[in-house]
Amino acid sequence: MTEKEKMLAGELYKSWDEELTMERSRAKQLTYQLNQTKDTEDHYRKQLIQDLFGTIEGEMGLEPPFYCDYGYNIHVGDGFFANYNCVFLDVCEIRIGKRVLIGPNVQLYTATHPMDRETRASGLESGRPIIIGDDVWIGGSAVINPGVTIGENVVVGSGAVVTKDVPPNVFVAGNPAKQVRKVD
């Protein structure tokens, strides 16, 4: 397996691999250009996002600045919106459903590091995908950790740190995020 194939499969991989380094560089160039756009350059902004993201289904919006590792692992549904200063570490897939609203400073982390210190010291890392269902609202400054699946119609409170899967139709908040109540 190549290092990229290992990364996408969630196995330990060398992030300093030449192919991955070039792909991160491409994403940095695209996000730099995106983050320099003016509000009046909506068409150019949309083109940059299309070049960056893996798939976009329908209409979407994203307010710069925005940062990601690769971009091609990000897949968004119709009606997606992300506010200012979001960070999506997409070493594995980030699948976001329809009508998902993401507040400012939200961070989605698929990247993770080994718990074993010797393996961690070797520089190897891995990732686990994030899946977000339809009709989810993630409040500002929330963090979604590697491997988390968020069900449909979930509200994630501002500042929450989501470390475990979230069932549909609930409001979660806190650090670590816990279910507060059901939502309609």
- Give catalytic residues, as residue numbers: 113
Displacement of CA 39 from its chain's centroid (Å) = 23
CB 11 within 8 A of CB 54: no
Question: Could you give the 3-state DSSP secondary structure of residue 127?
Answer: strand
Strands, E assignment, the chain: 55-56, 60-62, 66-68, 74-76, 80-82, 86-89, 94-96, 101-102, 107-109, 111-112, 126-127, 130-132, 137-138, 143-144, 149-150, 155-156, 161-162, 170-173, 178-182
Length of the chain equals 184
Question: Could you give the 3-state DSSP secondary structure of residue 32?
Answer: helix
